[in-house]
Structure 1
């Protein structure tokens, strides 16, 4: 694949979308440099599982793609935090960023740079970036108010402070992954439930927005074993789009046996009507 990219890049100068995802890593830095030299209009780039790429590729991307909107470098574990921070300085139009598995590069330093320079970010996947802590997530939340989806699954260092920052600063957040974030407690859940409701006027505005599709529609708190049913039920009650009923699971609580009593409104309604259906009049 590497030689193919080297030969074709100069011929596709108007390319805007490029998927170079590989099952067997072949891409090397010289191919990325070639793309950045000739495909200056690129807006959507997938380099996932490119294990052979080094920081040199990120520096090339930073200088070659000022209009980059979507970047997937999941599994590119060789990138450093300083190179990711450098990328953020130049690719300020990023809206969708997948760093899942970038265990070396996705640190608080990189997130602080993203929060400072990439204010248009809407979706960020940080799954299994175990070095990320509250300082990085808080910086991201403070700098990216349009954030709609954030995956923090496996980010074992984060605490309630990260969730509170998101609840306070990201009113458009619709999807949040907290799988295996075992330092999360009820305090984080209540902050989500109460997000945006500071007075009566804001409460009515919040209710109106939910009818328009605002608010959480997906929440993964699997293996967050410190959570209690009242706190999680409060979140479920605050966001009607969160479901625990069969076929519509968008509030994921697997691995939390103490949360089996948490139910969405339609699940409760189905339970109430079931006896009437199961025992028809003779």
Structure 2
């Protein structure tokens, strides 16, 4: 693959989307540097599982592909947070960023740079980035108000403070992954449930219609064992798009045996309907 990219990139100077996901890592820095040299209109780039790539690639992309709006570098474990922070300073139009498994690159320092430079960010995957803490994600909550999807699965340092900041700062958040974030407590759930209540009426009125239309649609709190049914039920009641009923699961609570009593509105209605049906005579 590496030689193929080296030969083809100079011929596709108007390329806007490129998927280079690999099962067997072959891509090397010189190929990405060639892409950055010739493909200045590139907007969507997938380099996931490119284990051989180093910071050289991110520095090249920063200078050669400033129009990037979507970047997937999940599993690229050699990237550093310095290089990622540098990239964010040049690729300020980033809207979708996948850093899943990028333990070195995804640090609080890098997230603060992203929050400062990429205010249009809408989707961020930080799954299994164990170095990420409240400091980094809270900066995103206030620096990226248009954030729609955030995956924090396996970010074990995350606490309630992060979720509270997201509830206050990201009014359009639709998907939140908190799998195995075991420091999350009921405080976080009640913050989400009450997130429609704004302190300033003028701010609330400006987002009211759009926020009511969207709301939280997916929430993964699997293995968050400190949560109690009343707090989670409050979230479920506040966001009708969250479902626990068969075939529509968007509130994921697996591994939380104490939350089996939490149900969405349609699940409760289905239970009542079934209970009201006449039983056949024996």
TM-score (norm 1): 0.96
- Give me the whole-angstrom Cα distance separating, in 2, the residues matched to 1:181 and 1:189: 13
Deviations 1:99-134 (A, max 9, x none): 000011101011000000000000000000000000
Q: SS in structure 2 opposite 1:234?
A: helix
CA contact (8 A) 2:70 2:95 kept: yes
- From the superposition, tell whether residues 205 and 258 of structure 1 become closer, same or farther in structure 2 (CA, over 3 Å): farther
Residues 73-152 of structure 1: pairs in structure 2 closer than 5 A:
73-152=73-152
Q: SS in structure 2 opposite 1:219?
A: strand
Could you say which residue in structure 1 is the equivalent of 2:186?
186
- Give me the whole-angstrom Cα distance separating, in 2, the residues matched to 1:222 and 1:176: 12
- Give me the whole-angstrom Cα distance separating, in 1, the residues matched to 2:267 and 2:204: 25
- Give me the whole-angstrom Cα distance separating, in 2, the residues matched to 1:207 and 1:275: 37
1:48 aligns with 2:52: no
Q: CA RMSD in A?
A: 1.8
Could you say which residue in structure 2 is the equivalent of 1:23?
23
Deviations 1:210-229 (A, max 9, x none): 652x1100000000000000
**Segments ≥4 residues shifted beyond 4 Å:** 199-211
Could you say which residue in structure 1 is the equivalent of 2:267?
267
- Give me the whole-angstrom Cα distance separating, in 1, the residues matched to 2:132 and 2:234: 27
- From the superposition, tell whether residues 3 and 257 of structure 1 become closer, same or farther in structure 2 (CA, over 3 Å): same
How far apart are 1:279 and its partner, in Å?
Answer: 1.8
Could you say which residue in structure 1 is the equivalent of 2:165?
165
Gaps of 5+ in 2: none
Q: SS in structure 1 opposite 2:27?
A: coil
- Give me the whole-angstrom Cα distance separating, in 1, the residues matched to 2:280 and 2:91: 64
How far apart are 1:164 and its partner, in Å?
Answer: 0.6
Q: SS in structure 2 opposite 1:45?
A: strand
- From the superposition, tell whether residues 93 and 206 of structure 1 become closer, same or farther in structure 2 (CA, over 3 Å): closer
How far apart are 1:198 and its partner, in Å?
Answer: 3.1
How far apart are 1:281 and its partner, in Å?
Answer: 7.6
Residue range with higher mean Cα deviation, 190-199 or 102-111: 190-199
TM-score (norm 2): 0.96
